[in-house]
Amino acid sequence: MDFAQMYTAWKELLRAGTDLPWWQEQYVYFYQAFVEGGRWQRYLEGVGVTLMVTVCALLIGVVLGLLVATVRTAHDQQRPGRRNPVLGLCNALCQVYVTVIRGTPMMVQLLIMGFVIFSSSRDYTMVGALTLGINSGAYVAEIIRGGLMSLDPGQMEAGRSLGLNYVDTMRFIVVPQAFKAVLPALGNEFIMLLKDTALINVIGGKELVYAAQSIYNRTFEQMYPLLGVACIYLVMVMVLSWLQGKLERRLRQSDRR
Amino acid sequence: MIVVNHLSKSFGDNLVLQDISTTIEQGEKVVIIGPSGSGKSTFLRCLNLLETPTAGRITFQGTEITDPKVDIDKVRRSMGMVFQHFNLFPNMTIRRNITLAPVRAKLMSQEEADETAKQLLERVGLADKADAYPAQLSGGQKQRIAIVRSLAMRPQVLLFDEPTSALDPEMVGEVLQVMKELAQEGMTMVVVTHEMGFAREVGTRILFMADGKILEENTPQALFDHPQHPRTQEFLSKVL
């Protein structure tokens, strides 16, 4: 008797109301959560979508974050008496963006984007990715700005006193050092982002949690699909933290030479 | 060379420099002394506009650098600055620390800059450190590199902001030695320091600052041996 036959036989017994041993009952639930009808493929598809949404949101978030952090830092570091009005306007816009995004729940942002702004769109997954990206951008901006501001002002002064302009000083001196400093916080933000992709489910994004839901909505047995999904998230986050640790160790080597 | 006219600087309500006027001539070695909080460093930092003066004018080689329209990066290329905390760039090798600015300013090609760096490093006895990182050097070595880094731009004047204050006593000598050699070669220098021996030996003029004003200025002999102002007398009696 192979696994499939065991499943079919025991499931018939269960359905007939027979009292099966504990492990046989669990076997049936496990099998129908992950194997029956090739259901494991649904999880894989979910992982694919989750990863794709994460990468899209990450790219949007990093680009937006860099842009906002650059504008805000450049604005704050202007010489008194030489304020640029265009930069002032951009800075005000960036501040509104960061305040609104950080001041409202992600769930509300998703619902507004999904059902109000893009209510006619059918591509819920991409709307979700866009929303997550915009949300993440605000946090990434503050992380990067914090890193740029936390660097010893003497580094900027040394660069400028050598006659390097602001952009060169940022590019060769401040940013490379700040990048190393913000990496742990940035990694943390990316891990949050990966997990937050679960939320796009509420506007119909077909990611990993959606896969679990669609399965237990048919089997009426929630434990294995949910535990399975939790394990998959855990593994993905662990891989991400491992990569982050590796990158940090590599960047730290220049300090010890 | 540098003309300072009625320079004032305040941080908020705190008036740090009050109506300072002085002229620094080519080849002079001006040493600024005074109690902490007297505005010495702020004055020095105003000279290359690391601090923006609240009022007054500074002219450098005929250019009014306090004019907001002036290209300050260009001015700073001919004004080297050496900091108390060295401020070497820890993410680069010593060679790159030295060559970055001249190459980016298009004063030299990378090869020329490398050659200049090599010669300058040999002069301060650190030729073997070109490929090291700042973290591997002692304080005295870092400060000598910082001086070399400013020199690579071939500046007209060097500003020193307490260059030996962050050093262990045994390393002060090696840095002062480099500065003395520069002085002998005729470099124009403005030095904020607590090293009275250096001030007396190398300085051509001493400024005594307290409470944001220049209270007394004179040749080293006159100022150290016959201070006129009571604050100068009080200060010198404490440090000498």
Q: Is it the case that residue A174 has pLDDT exceeding 70?
A: yes
| Sheet of B63-64, strands arranged across | B14-24, B2-11, B55-60, B63-64
Looking at chain A, the whole-number percentage of residues with pLDDT higher than 70 is 98
Series of mean pLDDT values for 10-residue runs along chain B (240 residues): 94 92 95 93 94 93 90 93 96 95 94 96 94 93 96 96 93 94 95 94 94 94 93 91
Establish, for the pair of chains A and B, how many residue pairs have beta carbons separated by less than 8 Å.
78
Amino acid at A22: W
What is the average per-residue pLDDT within A81-92? Answer: 88
Residue A81 has pLDDT above 80, yes or no: no
- The confidence score (pLDDT) of residue A255 equals 66
Query: What is chain A's mean pLDDT, rounded?
Result: 92
Q: Which tokens hold the place of B12?
A: 């908020």
The model's pLDDT over B93-149, given as tens digits with 9 standing for 90+, comes to 999 999 999 999 999 999 999 999 999 999 999 999 999 999 999 999 999 999 999
Judge: B100–A172 Cβ closer than 8 Å, yes or no. yes
Q: Does A177 touch chain B (CB under 8 A)?
A: yes
AA identity, residue B32: I
Under a CB-based contact definition with an 8 Å cutoff, are residues A208 and A46 in contact? yes
Burial B195-204 (b: 16+ CB within 10 A, else e): bbebbbebbe
d(CA A47, CA A209): 9
Q: Of B60, B34, B57, which Cα lies nearest the Cα of B206?
A: B34
Are the C-beta atoms of residues B9 and B209 closer than 8 Å to each other?
no
Domains of chain A from N-terminus onward: 52-203 (1.10.3720.10)
| A172 touches B at CB < 8 Å | yes
Torsional class of B214: left (φ above 0), alpha (ψ -120 to 50), beta (otherwise)? beta
pLDDT of A55 reads: 95
User: What residues does B163 pair with on adjacent strands?
Assistant: none
Alpha carbons A151 and A172: distance in angstroms, whole number = 13
Closest CA to B78 of B59, B58, B95, B61: B61
Residue B234: φ, ψ to 5° = -65, -45
User: Residue A28: is its pLDDT beyond 80?
Assistant: yes
Amino acid at B226: H
Among A159, A163, A255, the residue with its CB nearest the CB of B74 is A163
Span A149-170, pLDDT tens digits: 999 999 999 999 999 999 999 9
What's the CA gap between A46 and A211, in Å, rounded? 6
Of A185, A207, A187, A189, residue with least CA distance to A198: A207
Q: Report CA A257 to chain centroid distance, whole Å.
A: 34
Helix (H) / strand (E) element for B15: namely: strand B14-24
Please, are residues B157 and B190 in contact by the beta-carbon 8 Å criterion?
A: yes
Best to test chain A binding among B91, B92, B129, B162 (most A CBs inside 10 Å): B91
Rounded-to-integer distance, Cα A19 and Cα B228, Å: 108
- Looking at residue B9, what is its pLDDT? 94
CB contact at 8 A, A247 and A209: no
pLDDT of A256 higher than 70: no
Residue of A82, A155, A162, A180 to mutate, testing the B interface (most B Cβ within 10 Å of its Cβ): A162
* Predicted pLDDT of residue A257: 53
Q: Which residues contact A138 (CB under 8 A, 6 or more apart)?
A: A64, A65, A68, A97, A98, A101, A102
The Cα–Cα gap between A243 and A19 comes to: 48
Q: What is the pLDDT of residues A185-223, one digit of tens each?
A: 999 999 999 999 999 999 988 899 999 999 999 999 999
Cβ atoms A60, A130 nearer than 8 A: yes
Note whether A162 contacts B153, CB cutoff 8 Å: yes
Going by pLDDT thresholds of 50, 70 and 90, the confidence category of residue A17 is confident
CA atoms within 13 A on the CB side of B196: 13
Q: Are A169 and A156 in contact (CB under 8 A)?
A: yes
A69-89 burial by CB neighbour count: b if 16+ within 10 A, else e? bbbbbbbeeeeeeeeeeeeee
Residue reference for tokens 């819920």: A124
> Do B24 and B2 touch, CB atoms closer than 8 A?
yes
Judged by CB atoms closer than 8 Å, whether chains meet at B88 and A172 is answered as no
Give percent of chain A with pLDDT exceeding 90. Answer: 78
Q: How far away is chain B from the Cα of A254, in angstroms, using its nearest Cα? A: 7
